[in-house]
Amino acid sequence: MQSLPFGELGAAAGVGRGVVVGLTVNYRPWVKGVEVPYLVALVELEEQSDLCLMTNMPRTACLRRG
């Protein structure tokens, strides 16, 4: 845990589900070794709706619409 002016900051396991609220597809190989197209998503986490995580979206991710 790291102590900050507004409280403690640490890591916790999540349930692994959320809602994609934003998505972009990068077709340019900006980083050597990263395959394109590279998907970057903004995910609203299921366990805390006001918390979003910016992450890559693997092609093997289980996504569904709705």
In the predicted model, what is the mean pLDDT of the chain? 84
The mean per-residue pLDDT over the stretch 44-55 comes to 89
| pLDDT at residue 43, as a whole number | 92
> Which residues are within 8 A (CB) of 28 and not within 5 positions of it... i.e. 6 or more apart?
36
3-state secondary structure (DSSP) of residue 27? coil
Which pTM does this prediction carry? 0.68
| pLDDT at residue 44, as a whole number | 93
| pLDDT at residue 28, as a whole number | 92
Question: Where are the domains positioned within the chain?
Answer: 14-56
